[in-house]
Structure 1
C-alpha cells in the first residue's frame, strides 16, 4: 500500500512529516518493510529502495527534480492545501503513486498565545517549508498576516539573519532538524 512504502522510507527521516507518516502506519498496525539506499537531502524530500522499488517522497520540487509528472494530482493537492493540509507526493519507480495529506491540529493554547504576543507589540512572522496555500490557510486560522512559505532550512536562517541585521530582536519557535539552523541564528530559539 502507499502508506506502507511511504512509512518504510520515512522511518529513516527525522522530519516531523515523516514521523507522522510512520506513526500513522504503526497505528494502523501496518508492517513496515526495510529500506535500503536511504537519502534525505536537506529540504528536498526523501528516497530509498523498498522491496525492489525506488521510492521518492516529497513536495512538487522534489518530484520535479526527479522528473516525476504530478500534473494530474495538482488540483487535488491544492484543494487539500486550502484546507490547511500539507501534501507529500509519493512516487515509485519514476511514476507518481499517490499523495498523502497531513494536517497538524492547532494546539488549543496557540490562539491565546499569539494574541498575547500581538498585545505586547510583537510582530509575528510564519516561516515554513510548506506550500503557500497550506501556509496561508493556517495563517488565516491563527490571524497571522506575514507568511513566508516554501522556504528551505537555509532560507529560514537567511530570513532570521535579515531581520536581525535590520535591528530586530528575533525569537524563533520550530520543530525538527530542519529548523535547527534558524533556531541557532535567532536571538532566542
Structure 2
C-alpha cells in the first residue's frame, strides 16, 4: 500500500487504528534521536597518561557491544594502541564493566557505578559536570580502586530531529525522551532535539524502560515507543504501538508494530498523519456504503411496488450493486494524491 511506498511498514490494521489515537510518544535517545555513532571528545588524566588510560579502557570495552564502547575502541585504533589481554570480564548493563588486566582490577563506567563500588570520584566532579552540561557522556577509568581519569564521549543529534519534533508537537500531546544517560547530558541533547526538560526520562536502566512505559499508560496515556536497539525491545512490546527504526536490531524490529525503513525520524510524523487519513477514508467508505445500501436494498426488494407498481430489473440491481463498490474504490484511490502531501510535509 501507500505506507509501504513511503517506507513505512505497518504490520497490522490494529496498529494503524491505535496509532491514530496516540497521545504520548517516547523516543529512545541513542541511535533514534542521535546518530548512534558516538565519538571520544576528550580524555582527562588524573594519574597516568592519556594513552595509558585509553589502553585500559579500550582493552576492556573491546569485549562490549555498547555504542560507547565502540567509540573508545575506535579511538584506541586511531591512536594505534595495542590491546591488552583481559580476563574475568563482566558487563553491568546501563552502568559499566569490570575485568582484570594482568594483576590489575579495572572498572570502567559511569559515576554511579563507581560510587556503588566505593570509589572516590570527588576530584573529578567539576570536570564531569562541565562535560555533561555540553552533552558529553563521561566514562571513568579506575585501576585497583584508584581513579586514573575520565573519557568524554558525545553523539550527534540526527539531521531532521528538530524539524520532526516541531511537527509532532502539533499532533501529539506529550513527547518524551528516554535514556540511560545522566540528567545533565540528556538535557543537553533535549535542547538540541526540542524536547522539554520535564519530558526527559534519564538514568534509566535498560531493564526498566518497559516499566517507564507502564507508568505513562497508568496515567491513561496511549503510548508509542520509538527505538532501535536490543535494549528497546521490551519497551517496544509494552507500548501500545511500538515503532522501530529500520536500521535497528532484528529484535527491535520483531518487537515493533511499525517499522520505519528509511531511518528518517520525520517518518514518525508521516506515519501518524497517514493513519489519521486512512482511518478517515475507511469511515467515509463505510458511511457512504451504508447510506447507499440502506436506500438501494429496499428498492431492489420491491418496497415501491405496492405504491407505484415499480419493480427494479434484476440486471439493473446487479449493476447498481457493482457501482457501490466502484464508488468505494474510487474514493480510496484519492489517497494516492495524499501521498505527495505527506512527502512534502517537511
1:48-72 Cα shifts (integer Å, max 9, x gaps): 1123311101111110111111000
Aligned equivalents of 1:31 and 1:72: distance in 2? 29
Within a 5 Å distance, the mapping from 1:83-162 to structure 2 comes to 83-145=134-196, 146-162=199-215
Task: Provide the aligned C-alpha RMSD in A.
Answer: 1.7
CA contact (8 A) 1:85 1:102 kept: yes
Within a 5 Å distance, the mapping from 1:1-189 to structure 2 comes to 1-145=52-196, 146-186=199-239, 187-189=241-243
1:14-69 Cα shifts (integer Å, max 9, x gaps): 22211221122123222222211000122221111123311101111110111111
Change (3 A) 1:176 1:54: farther
Aligned equivalents of 1:92 and 1:104: distance in 2? 27
Task: Identify the structure with bigger relative contact order (alpha carbons < 8 Å, sequence gap 6+).
Answer: 2
Aligned equivalents of 2:195 and 2:210: distance in 1? 20
> What is the CA distance between 1:175 and its match in structure 2?
4.7
Change (3 A) 1:172 1:27: farther
Change (3 A) 1:182 1:166: same
> What is the CA distance between 1:164 and its match in structure 2?
2.6
Aligned equivalents of 1:12 and 1:127: distance in 2? 26
Gaps of 5+ in 2: 1-51, 244-346
TM-score, structure 1 normalization: 0.91
Give the length in aligned residue pairs: 189
CA contact (8 A) 1:15 1:178 kept: no
Question: Which one is further off, 129-138 or 173-182?
Answer: 173-182
